[in-house]
Chain A
């Protein structure tokens, strides 16, 4: 098993798709000789050539739209939004077109496209280059939303997203790109059954912590901290946000009786609020022995200064304190 960064693991998965499907191609800004703003596609132009690694002008609407048109006619596009914030420029092809075509045309058309984008803050890139907009897409029937947290799951999820027949929004938090781990390289899966499945990162019995994307890594650090030694924390990485693995969350909460959701995204109308509403409206409600809590990013755009960014994004200490408070008071 080779050791890889998440960026390399995603590239590996993309290469496997390109190797096995001649109808697969990439399109995006600076994905060729530049290798992508975060280096994910570095070297692919040399390997696969200009016909399959297509550098585009700065035209997000066209990038997503051409992906949709190509996907409905037999190609397998993987397109990139350089920063996921710019997906705002591509909302029509994604939300009004890709998400709707299968249903609207009575199931006669599929739109198997993967739209990748770098999300999240912590890099000082400020308000227009740091957002976590994933919940926008969870609100749109027809789209699936995937948020890996590290090399192995990014690799596996990219492959599953590629074989899925639906449009996939694949959000890669910038801070996961450099995380390293040994990656089990696989063949392309026959089905996309991995999508929609969460993962229990650590088992525990005192409290359920649900998280996704890079916040899972912060949560892992938090629960490994000495201050939480005496608590048994169960940590769930959602991995796919839509469809959501509700059963996994509910059975965990039934066991622990406590639910904390941690996310970098703003809290209102978000993944966290959905997770909590699913739990409290399920049979697990009666098993709760304290009110569920959502630890989210502040209701603010991302500031540029480091100390302000740290204030907006939940930090390890915030997670530790929330866990202690909930377990002690529960």
Chain B
């Protein structure tokens, strides 16, 4: 099924928003305005965008340490995300969470998680909850290739399959877990085969093809709801930036990085495709300038937000 033009433009806009959001974070970081570290998903925008735009607002996601894209694509406001990273009162978590821990329950985002594989069993629990509530919604659980070697990955898949829970496991295989190439870390070589061994229907797709991701998540969601069984998608993608701010990129070559940037970039590829389909260049340029303005005004507004409150930190630790 071909997507309609408006949907395509929404996918384009969201990928661009994620890209420019993170580039602007990078710029603020280099000016010393941001404290701490962060994990950028530049190059991986198609996965977050395709996956989240295929969901309804009532569908839930769990996210990772590299979660800015998931969060934006699930509907978060850039202003409140910037405010969070800047430690401001208007931030999604009032400056307590920061880059690695944004949750946005109003849009079904159960939160980014700093612990690798930390959200898999949580997603299973959320799916159990949806099942008990007899809802026609799913939990989409994002995690990286690095997570599949943690014990909790296996415990989560096993239970989700046994209990027939409405969860879509989505592995963003960007081919490295920090400096560890996934081919050197994953015995047996295949993530999908691992998932299949738990009786879960699984597929591997091009995670840099935003339409492919969108369609796959849409179809998988339908199947999960009608068959009441979990499903698994591996999205093959690539991260351009270092793992975090301390990375010297010694474990991969410039040629490899440049190949992905030049030949496989999700935005470049999708732009050419849209132009081939006779979408006007001016339409895309208009979106680009709107997104740029949105980022600019969001940063400005975030910088005007007051510093987050220092009182009640101990009380804030409990419900």
Contact = CB atoms under 8 A, between A and B. Distances in A.
Contacts of B149: 57-59
B313 A300 contact: yes
B66 to A, nearest CB: 14
Contacts of B247: 34
B179 A304 contact: no
Contact of A34 (B97, B114, B152, B251): B251
Interface in B225-258: 246-248, 250-251
Interface stretch (A66-74, A150-158, A306-314): A306-314
Interface in A54-113: 55, 57-61, 85-86, 89
A33 interface: yes
Contacts of A307: 87, 307-308, 310
Contact of A305 (B180, B186, B246, B308): B308
Interface in A302-326: 303-308, 311-312
A124 to B, nearest CB: 2
Interface in A267-313: 298-301, 303-308, 311-312
B151 A55 contact: no
Interface residues of A, number: 36
A298 B180 contact: no
Nearest to B186: A57
A184 interface: no
A140 interface: no
B40 to A, nearest CB: 16
A188 interface: no
A300 B146 CA distance: 29
B180 A55 contact: yes
B268 interface: no
Contacts of A29: 178, 180
Contacts of A237: none
B3 interface: no
Contacts of A61: 150-151
Contacts of B178: 29-30, 34, 37
A304 B36 contact: yes
Given A58-B147, A125-B36, A127-B101, A304 B96 contact: yes
B96 A308 contact: yes
B52 interface: no
Contacts of B98: 124, 126, 303-305
Interface residues of B, number: 43
A129 interface: yes
A129 B97 contact: no
A125 B98 CA distance: 8
Given A29-B178, A58-B147, A123 B36 contact: yes
Contact of B100 (A32, A126, A303, A306): A126
A57 B185 contact: yes
A120 B87 CA distance: 20
Contacts of B95: 303-305, 308
A48 B50 CA distance: 45
Q: Which of A32, A35, A38, A55: most chain B CB closer than 10 A?
A: A55
Contacts of A89: 115, 150-152
Nearest to B152: A89
B313 A308 contact: yes
Interface in B119-165: 146-147, 149-152
A59 B151 contact: yes
Given A86-B115, A89-B150, A304 B101 contact: yes
Interface string B298-319: 0000000001101001101100
A144 to B, nearest CB: 26
B114 A129 contact: yes
A298 B314 contact: yes
B14 interface: no
B217 interface: no
B117 A58 contact: yes
B307 A126 contact: no
B115 A128 contact: yes
A305 B307 CA distance: 9
Nearest to B146: A58
4 tightest Cβ-Cβ pairs between the two chains A and B:
A124-B36, A304-B98, A305-B87, A57-B149
6 contacts: A57-B177, A60-B150, A127-B97, A300-B314, A307-B87, A308-B308
Given A30-B179, A126-B99, A299-B317, 19 more contacts: A29-B180, A30-B178, A33-B251, A34-B178, A57-B180, A58-B117, A58-B146, A58-B147, A61-B151, A85-B115, A124-B35, A127-B96, A128-B113, A298-B313, A300-B313, A304-B35, A304-B98, A306-B87, A308-B96
Interface of B: 35-37, 86-87, 95-101, 113-118, 146-147, 149-152, 177-180, 184-186, 246-248, 250-251, 307-308, 310, 313-314, 316-317
